[in-house]
Amino acid sequence: MRSRHPPQRRGVTHAVTTTGRTRPAPPPGPGAAGAGNHRRVSARRHRRASGGRQMEGSIIRRLTHDHTRVLVSVSGLPGAADVAAVLAAVGRVGAVAEMLTLLPAPDGTGLSFVTARSDGPSVLVALAESRPAGGTVSVRCRDDVARLTLHGQGIRADPQVLPRFQHALHGVGVTTLAMSVSNTLVEAVCAADVLHRALRSLATAFGCEASPVPAPAPTHRPRSLPLPAARPAVAARPVPPLTIARR
């Protein structure tokens, strides 16, 4: 028995009506292929309105910097429990440890983090009071650092952002001391005396505007936080001495 439905041609989409007959389907509208064109046009309009530059899957808007952070490095911690004790001591004084990095070493575990410049002295006192009972712990606090921040959208979804960021810094001899990444920010800490080179290189690499580039820091600028005076109760405890490395 022959089918009542007429044969369908290849490449043509048909729809079945309630009467059993077939008819060609309507051309795709904004809900199909047209939706892709609509999204691309909307993205271009959004970039023009926001002033950002789009990379593959991301939008880079601007580059900023500040001197509101210090870099704290702790070495010679006997074990993981001592790392937790350091972070607990930082939290007790109301400071926040950012850009946390663990550095395993033969003589123990090392730890580095970034915290607010205003919290630097209280963090040093807290670390002096909570030093472990065994081993020699060295603490270094650098205030000759600056923070670079790249602002945008979709940063973590774009595999080209971080390589370009690091290549721009490495190309002008800037070492990244600490780094963190989110979907909207790339934050990096570098030495303050190379900040001007880092800003110019990143602004060129990403084609975005940067905050005013400062002049290089003078060579006589203080390079470390003053060590807070030890409390008498802490000095009287029979524990190994705390070695503070000044830069």
Same domain, 69 and 173: yes
Same domain, 34 and 156: no
Which residue matches tokens 């670079």? 148
How many distinct structural domains can be found in the chain? 2
Distance CA 121, CA 38 (A): 55
Query: Domain range spanning residue 39?
Result: 26-50
Query: DSSP 3-state assignment of 40?
Result: helix
pLDDT tens per residue across span 3-35: 555 555 554 444 444 455 545 555 555 554 554
Same domain, 41 and 65: no
Mean pLDDT of the chain: 76
Indicate the pTM of the whole model: 0.64
Same domain, 69 and 119: yes
Distance CA 65, CA 121 (A): 23
DSSP strands (E only) in the chain: 14-16, 22-24, 53-55, 58-66, 69-77, 98-105, 108-116, 138-142, 145-153, 178-181, 185-191, 209-210, 243-244
Same domain, 235 and 129: yes
Same domain, 82 and 146: yes
pLDDT tens per residue across span 147-172: 999 999 999 999 999 999 999 999 99
Q: How distant, in Å, are the alpha carbons of 146, 214, 215 from that of 218? A: 14, 11, 9
Average pLDDT over residues 116-121: 96
Greater pLDDT, 212 or 48: 212
Greater pLDDT, 59 or 232: 59
Same domain, 215 and 242: yes
pLDDT tens per residue across span 166-205: 999 999 999 999 999 999 999 999 999 999 999 999 999 9
